[in-house]
A and B are shown apart, each in its own frame.
Chain A
Amino acid sequence: MIYLRTVWLHLKKDLRLEWRSREAVAGMLFFTLLIAVAFAMAFDPTGYPAMARQMSGGLLWVGLLFAATTSLNISWERERRNQVMDAHRMSAAPPSALFLGKALANFLFVAFIEAVLAPVFIVFYNLHPLGELKWLWLILPLGTWAIVANGTFFAALGLRSRNRALMLPAILFPISIPALLGVTQATSAVITGDFEPGMWVRLIFGFDVIFTTACILLFGTVLHAE
């Protein structure tokens, strides 16, 4: 119970910080929008609706992944100011609660971006999904959590290294390949209606469970590295 309360306090703190500055969400929103525009210019989705349907799932997730890496670095950057990280290290609170609180906050930020940008994507890419849209209620949260949980962990991992901005994608992308494959395939399945997304949803779910467990178990080691 105390553990959950600590998670909640961390979450509340991150949400409040974001509410006051709005830098992470605004940055991500604009960044993902730019990616959507750049890809639309490269492929002319309105001229080739079948191709747009096949590609837009992948584009959405690649955009979100890029955007998430920028915001994940920001979310830990806040803790570096005024030696807050050292305070976390000395505190008696369980380290994994800090991780969970921050991952949940990042999850909410990215979910917000998805809620805003999914309609924009549908308009820009002239999409008429042919599969069952209700799957997206499962695919979007699971896929977002896969990116955000690992991303929050690896952003903390690279916190004290040189080239922080480069290090996060260099670790996050190779590790997240199965999740990325799963979400893009599942989203494409919903949009094109060609095949059932069920198998890929199971893959993402398994990925989430395994890696969230690993993150929670190893976060203390990362926080107290050195």
Chain B
Amino acid sequence: MKRLFWMLCGLSVALLAWGFYEAVFVAPVEATMGSIYRIFYWHVPINISAEIFPYVNMIASIGYLWARRKNHSLALKLDALAIATAEITVLYVGLGLATGMLWGRPVWGIWWAWDARLTSALMLFLLYVSYLLVRSFSSSGQGPVIAAVLSVFAGIDVPIVFMSIRWWRTQHPAPVLTGEGSLDPSMWPAFLWNLAAWFFWGCTLIWARYAIVRREQQIAEREAMEALEA
């Protein structure tokens, strides 16, 4: 298992390096924005991963609520997965916002616009920061249950936020992958390499965090058992 982790870690670091090379040296210069657009190769893959991890968190949380009375060890594993995915979600959405702002300043002329996608991403960020806050405030006994309930609420909220803010206003460029603007064929390799790189890197981080949380849980259980025996 440990070997598999290090293999994944090595693979994602190699992919990150290769993706960087592809995006900076191989991909062509964009017609209107020049080289500024290259941040897109990090911004979009990071945001795609940032939209996948919350759902892993929600599924793990639902699984936790289902398993907590039936299968204690499975429930603990799912809870550890929920913590890990929530933390990496915050990290990735934060990176997505930061890269977006770095791009927005030279292209739009402003760091931040209250546009639909930016606001939705900010709400996703706030939701998962509040999830982590709740975890840190709750007492150990009920923390996981409360966090799992909150995660279900957050999961319900995300599509509503997305839709409501889209009604509100929109300024973000239309999605280049599925929308009207299309990506030049010569840009696809750099994009796909980076997509794989950032997804695998996120999985590596989640795995590492999961392993740490599992160890913390085992220590806590051992301490509880020792206290009972003493």
Whole-angstrom CA separation of A177 from B119 in the bound complex: 11
Question: Across the A-B interface, how many residue pairs have beta carbons closer than 8 Å?
Answer: 88
Q: Which B residues are in CB contact (< 8 Å) with A171? A: 130, 133-134, 150
User: Does residue A163 face the partner (Cβ distance < 8 Å to B)?
Assistant: yes
Are A170 and B139 neighbours in the complex by a CB distance under 8 Å?
no
A-facing residues in B149-208 (Cβ within 8 Å): 149-150, 152-154, 156-157, 160-161, 163-165, 167-168
Q: Which A residues are in CB contact (< 8 Å) with B141? A: 225-226
Q: How far is the CB of B129 from chain A (nearest CB, A)?
A: 8
Whole-angstrom CA separation of A175 from B151 in the bound complex: 11
Whole-angstrom CA separation of A173 from B129 in the bound complex: 12
User: Does residue B65 face the partner (Cβ distance < 8 Å to A)?
Assistant: yes
Whole-angstrom CA separation of A157 from B127 in the bound complex: 16
User: Does residue A210 face the partner (Cβ distance < 8 Å to B)?
Assistant: yes
Q: Which residue of A lies closest to B126 (CB)?
A: A174
Q: How far is the CB of B163 from chain A (nearest CB, A)?
A: 8
A163, A177, A214, A218 — most chain B CB neighbours (10 Å): A177
Residues of B at the A interface (CB closer than 8 Å) are 65, 123, 126-127, 129-130, 133-134, 137-139, 141-143, 145-146, 149-150, 152-154, 156-157, 160-161, 163-165, 167-168
Q: Which A residues are in CB contact (< 8 Å) with B137? A: 158, 161-163, 166-167
Residues of A at the B interface (CB closer than 8 Å) are 157-158, 160-163, 166-167, 170-171, 173-175, 177-178, 181-182, 185, 199, 203, 206-207, 210-211, 214, 218, 221-222, 225-226
A226 with B156: in contact, given A163-B137, A203-B167 (CB under 8 Å)?
no
Closest CB pairs A-B (n = 4): A225-B145, A225-B142, A178-B164, A174-B126
A174 with B127: in contact, given A157-B146, A181-B164, A182-B164 (CB under 8 Å)?
yes
